Amino acid sequence: NSLAKSHLLKDFIESEFFLIDGDSLFITCMWNKTLKKGQNLHFFYIVEQFLHNFNQKDARYVIVFFKDIENIFFNHPKLLSLRTALIQHLEHNTQVPIHTEFSSCLSPEWEIFLKESYPYFLIVSDEGITSRQTDYLNIFILHALQKKINVVLASGQETNMLRIFGYQVQPLYSHWKFFEQVHQTMSLLRNMWPEGADIKSIVCSLSCSVVLKTYKNMIDALTLEEAADLCRMLCLSVAFLQLLPLSQRAKSRIIHCNWKKKLSPFIRMLKRCEFFILKEIKTISQWKVDFTFLPDLTDNLLWKNIAYYYEVENCTGLHLEVGDGIMEKYEKMWNTILNLSGDYDFGGSIPVRRTLQHFLTQKEISTEENPKDINIAVQLMKRVHMILGKYPQFMKERHRKKLAKCLKYLGFDNLAESLYSEVKIRKCFNDISKYSVHMGAARFQLSYMGHYLFREERSDPDPRVHHFIPDTWQRELLDVVDNNESAVIVAPTSSGKTYVSYYCMEKILKTSDEGVVVYVSPTKALINQVVGTVYSVFNKRRSKGGAICGVFTRDYRHDVMNSQILVTVPQCLEILLLSPHHQKWVKRIKYVIFDEVHCLGGEIGAEVWEHLLVMIRCPFLALSATISNPEYLTEWLASVKRYWQSFESMIDKSTSSKITLKGSKQNLSKTEKPSYRVRLVLYKERYNDLEKYVCSLKDDDFLISHYHPCAALTVNHIEKYGIPSDLGFSPRESIQLYDAMVQVWPEWPRDFEPEEFSCFKEKVVIMKTDSKKYEEELKKEIINWIHLDRDKVTLWKILHRIKYGRNASALKALAAQGIGYHHSSMQYKERQVVEMLFRLGYIKVVTATGSLALGINMPCKSVIFTEDSVFLDALNFRQMSGRAGRRGEDLIGNVFFYDIPLPKVQRLLKSNVPQLRGQFPLSISLVLRLMILVMKADDKEDAKAKVLSVLQHSMMSFNQPKMKHMLKVYFIFSLQFLVREGYLDQECIPRGFSGLAIHLHYHEPSNFVFISFLEKGLFHKLCQPMKLKGPKVFSENVMETLVLVLANLFGRRYLPSCVKRYKRTFSQSKVILNDLPKEFAAAAEEYNHKIENDFGSFLLIISELADMKKEYQLPLSEIDFSGEECRDSELVSHLMPGMENRTAVSPFACLSEITDQDLFNIDMVNDIVLRTIDVHDKNAPYFWLKKFDRDGSRHHLNAYAFDFYKHGSMAALALDNGLNKGDAFAAIKDFGLLIQAIRISLAELCDDEQDDVVLAFGQLSDAYCKKIWGKEKEQSHRS
């Protein structure tokens, strides 16, 4: 599993819930560092605040307390009492569902509950109060993973205004396969030994068989042959136990040796397997098992004695007879293991039986529902549709008679009569029943011809479009562009909304040589496609020799300032908008196109989208297929445009008062005025339907089953939230729903019978819109019920582009077979080649991650989702599934689910796309960038307007006056920091290292800490060259220390606290990063001390924004503890004098002796600050030297960047550091680019080319680059 944190509620939907282990909740809150022992009310506040945090994110959860756990607390009576009080408080005073009826996580009732409800995930601690409880929690985690339920560790959770992050453990194949093997192997053994056996033979045979079969997927310390040797010796030891009396065993010799550490995982697996065998065997009836010698299952010392004999004594020439009786028992047991193990090869001369899986009969899968070839009738009706739908004006009586005859043959008497009178044609037919499809015409068309139904499309051309006839809603988009208006466009994937982007480009290219259109793409992969389309569509020659299209990404830039169409990513456009020296170019921008604007609600970089939307003055087009609250987004953007309109009006008045020349006035009047209107264009209909399929294995047969969207819905979900607006049916799915409804309610009036439905009645040609009306009416009715051949040369040329790529040989070999893969960690050219080959048809199958989700045009017939993942959420599902059946490519799109739990499929289908909500908009780096823009821009007024737009129009503070006030105070807090640290002077003019700080702004606060190291001369003290003649060279020790410092600053990936507890041996990596060297750590501490003082003062100031009425209430139960204070008791006044300041901390926290002074300790802020001001420690630019959980356990940094420098192995990062290979490459690449960026920046800042620090970073950059790319890439970087 990856050890990175993930957003826990990413595709969480209203009707789903997750589980919280009550005792894990109890432990986590008990260990809170702000809690004093015995302060029960503060404890209950911490619990409720933990749960309320989920409530604020619209989450639903269930808490479970197991009965058996109560026994663990008997030796801790204070905790036992508090635990009982917590359970009763949650039951009586909150609305949270509490389950206390289950004895343990292994009880049958609990398994039934999990199977029926399938929770979204389980929050559980991996460490208990006692070692016994820790063992139990680990079994609980393993059991949940076996049930394919994701596990979230209770420790290490972090939160901000919109999200909760935690360490999520997904149920991998190896987790549930282990348990599946136990169950299946036991069933096989029962068939082999129907008469029964003794418990020793059963446990030994089963555990060895299961462990060997699952060994490769579970551990890697031993080879398979070594593991088989251990199992053989174990079998021999069990044979000894079966025949030897205790009197003889008591004479065993004593050997002083232990198993090697590398055997520990194998032995643990063996014991874990024994545990589940014993649990499983208890539930089996009608199998004679002799439990007499259950206390004597194994003898570890005897096992070691046998191992010692074969490893040491037998090898030196001591060959002893085992004995016939013992050998017979041993061989029987080992042969049983071989028979149970099927086609697994354990090496040596052991015969392996490879036909085990064929003992079970295979069921034939019949996909033919009708013995007749229904496809003939479908093709016949297609011809009828074509004739009547497209050529009705040419129809004559003889034609109508022939069509009526065809319809009569198919059994559609009513339609035949509507075309030609029955009296005249009755004689033409004799016995025609054998040709009939035996169903009505409407049912037939919906069931078998859904994807052939005609769409109602406009026939009148639009002069603005030449190669297709646009729909009405598309014409509205063209009107938006013609009127220079802005628009938020929400339409399904593949509906044709992207065309307006190219029309906008075409308009700007035709009307001007200077105007610029900026196309903002969320991913670099989509940029490739857009640039290719621009070059293929437009061929304008500019008068001054400029380019049509430019590209600007972090990795690549081309004709950025010299093109009329700039394709870029949000972060790069932000750089241009905030650059003082590019404001002249910014004024040339006539339109900005934001593709996939729903990224505004994403996790990473979302605030950049918001900055762009509030800074641009020109019209924009915001495109998306997945926004659930477009009205809110449009309203917010309209408010931004109103601001710019008032600003322009003010500028116009100021300008007109200064103009005195007549000619100037005339020129001004000719300037094209932009429109400030923001339209919302919604289009909900897909051109073609999506049908979903679930792939599964049953009795060793591979099944592909159609999955109806309604199967994902529950009565409770529909009743509370309705049917999701974008959950559509294909025509045949509408019929299936109707049939299911009739089956449930046979007496239901037949108004929705296809032959009687108003839109279908007597209709020979049913249109797509008719089927949609039928679908909508069915949805309303169900809600009412509830309320009541390849070109080899071309292929070679394309593949030639990646001949030097890291994965060139693999990509070429796969492409030759029509297969490709696509993910974000591939090189730019590799991704581009895969996209090209797929679109050209050379590649037929592409295995991809979410890199293809965001709008890349790769049309395909089917989309298959294989295996569950935390990244497969509602948004990505809709984006990816939309690739299937693109308009003009396929008549229908297919979506398949393989090896994904059915409840997850249901969740994906019925989940709403996430609402867009504002992020916390400010950071100190952003404030610095805004100040630099204002101070260095050529057009001061324009820059000032942009800055004010960013500061005043945060989506987070939209209609939230308290939030606006809080952001103003935060802005002052940021300025105070920048002035004090020397980035701005008293007039807010940039100075010092301000340029370097904004160059590294992605890594705040590490950018500021890095600069503090520079200012204190720590790098100069470290970077001392070796005393050699010639060019300066730095020792490997200097390089490693430099990497260590940079990894602590910029390679900050945290590991779960449990990593340190489990003393695992790693193959090559160190994994846990060492702390900063002492001098660097001291400088960071000094920086942090300033931040704590400033941020504590900030919290004291904004505490006046708190809702004090709510602060005296428990967050979840809302029990009110306010009231009139007692004034007539001297003892009360003596005990509670209120001498300390406690105005900005929670009154509940005050019970544990917390005061305002504790706000200056950043580590305590989240737990003690007034909760209604909604500020977290993440809003402070604090550099965490050491990060601890609530229980005091430390989260160490992942040493991936340092480890890679040491060994240069991506495989080791995947094996040891917990990164998958794609993430590992991306992380290392980013780290290498960062070193290069620092190297370039320092060289520009330093006048001395021979400065030690500049040269040291140059040497490190070359070394790191060489490890990533190899020597060829190193040379290209140097050049």
pLDDT for position 216: 54
pLDDT band at 368 (very low <50, low <70, confident <90, very high): very low
> pLDDT tens for residues 7-16?
777 655 555 7
Residue 1078: predicted pLDDT: 93
Task: Pick 652 or 234 by higher pLDDT.
Answer: 234
How much is the pLDDT for 1042?
A: 95
Say if residue 2's pLDDT is above 80: no
1014 in Cβ contact with 1083 (< 8 Å)? no
| Over residues 315-328, mean pLDDT | 76
Query: How confident is the model at residue 660, as a pLDDT?
Result: 46
- What contacts 30, CB < 8 A, 6 or more positions away? 43, 79, 82
- Tell me if 1000 sits within 8 A of 987, measured CB to CB: no
CA dihedral 81, 86, 92, 95 (to 10 degrees): -170
- pLDDT confidence of residue 1086: 93
pLDDT digits over 1078-1117, tens only? Answer: 999 999 999 999 999 999 999 999 888 888 898 888 888 8
CA distance 136 to 128: 8
Alpha-carbon span 1067 to 266, nearest angstrom? 17
Residue 510 confidence (pLDDT): 87
Beta-ladder partners of 678: 486
Which among 13, 122, 116, 125 is positioned nearest to 62, based on CA atoms? Answer: 122
805 with 777: CB under 8 angstroms? no
Across residues 60-66, what is the average pLDDT?
92
Fold exhibited by the domain 5-171: Rossmann fold (3.40.50)
State both tokens at 395: 């129809």
> Based on the number of CB atoms within 10 Å of its own CB, is 446 exposed (0-12), middle (13-18) or buried (19 or more)?
buried
Residue 335, C-beta contacts closer than 8 angstroms, at least 6 positions apart: none
Q: Residue 76 — pLDDT band, cuts 50, 70, 90?
A: confident
Domain edges within the chain: 5-171, 176-359, 374-452, 456-656+672-686, 792-910, 926-1002, 1005-1075+1186-1279, 1077-1179
pTM: 0.68
pLDDT at 1027: 76
Within 8 A by CB and 6+ apart from 793, the residues are none
Helices (H), 431-550: 441-448, 472-482, 499-511, 524-537
Taking the C-alpha atoms of residue 1092 and residue 1082, their distance in angstroms, rounded to an integer, is: 15
pLDDT at residue 25 is higher than 50: yes
Q: Give the per-residue pLDDT at 554.
A: 82
pLDDT of residue 423: 37
pLDDT at 221: 57
Looking at residue 1275, its pLDDT comes to 37
> Do residues 1235 and 1090 touch, judged by C-beta distance below 8 A?
no
Element (H, E) at 200: helix 199-218
Q: From CA 65, how far away is CA 24, in angstroms rounded?
A: 9
Question: What is residue 670's predicted lDDT score, i.e. its pLDDT?
Answer: 43
pLDDT digits (tens, 9 = 90+) for 1116-1136: 888 888 878 777 777 777 777
CA 1226/CA 1234 separation, integer angstroms: 12
| 665 confidence band (pLDDT: 50, 70, 90) | very low
Query: How open is the CA angle 866-868-872, to the nearest 5 degrees?
Result: 95
Q: What's the pLDDT score for residue 352? A: 24
Q: Are 566 and 581 in contact (CB under 8 A)?
A: no
The pLDDT > 70 percentage for the chain reads 85
* Bridge pairing between strands 164-169 and 5-7: antiparallel
Residue 1240 has pLDDT above 50, yes or no: yes
Q: What percent of the chain has pLDDT over 90?
A: 14
For 229-233, what is the mean pLDDT? 83
Structure tokens at 351: 């015969």
CATH for 792-910? 3.40.50.300
How many beta carbons lie within 10 A of that of residue 639, not counting itself?
16
pLDDT tens, residue by residue, 326-353:
888 888 888 887 777 666 655 432 422 2
| pLDDT, tens digit, 9 for 90 and up, residues 1025-1034 | 887 767 888 9
Residue whose structure tokens are 């393993």: 142
DSSP state of 701: E
Instruction: Report the 10 Å Cβ neighbour count for 657.
Output: 8
Q: Which position has the higher pLDDT, 235 or 524? A: 235
Q: Are 151 and 121 in contact (CB under 8 A)?
A: yes
User: Please, which pLDDT band fits residue 1231 given cuts at 50, 70 and 90?
Assistant: very high
Which tokens go with 763?
A: 């209709």
Across residues 702-714, what is the average pLDDT? 84
The model's pLDDT over 401-451, given as tens digits with 9 standing for 90+, comes to 888 888 887 878 777 777 776 534 444 445 555 677 788 888 888 888 888
Beta carbons of 1240 and 1259 less than 8 angstroms apart? no
Q: Which long-range contacts (CB under 8 A, 24 or more apart) does 310-314 make?
A: 310/233
Q: Rounded mean pLDDT of the chain?
A: 80
Query: What confidence category does residue 365 fall into, taking pLDDT thresholds of 50, 70 and 90?
Result: very low
629 CB burial (10 A radius; 0-12, 13-18, 19+): middle
Most confident region among 134-148, 240-254, 1035-1049 by mean pLDDT: 1035-1049
Query: Does the fold of domain 792-910 match that of domain 456-656+672-686?
Result: yes
CATH class entry, domain 456-656+672-686: alpha beta
Q: What is the pLDDT of residue 220?
A: 54
Can you give the pLDDT at residue 1257? 92
**Residues 472, 683: Cα–Cα separation, whole Å:** 10
Comparing CA positions, the residue from 682, 570, 676 lying closest to residue 624 is 682
Mean pLDDT of 670-681: 74
Provide the angle, in degrees to the nearest 10, between the axes of the packed helices 1200-1207 and 1221-1245. Answer: 90
User: 777-786, 885-894, 948-957, 1037-1046: which has the minimum mean pLDDT?
Assistant: 885-894
- The DSSP symbol for 327 reads H
Q: How far apart are the first and last CA of the chain?
A: 40
CA distance 783 to 888: 34
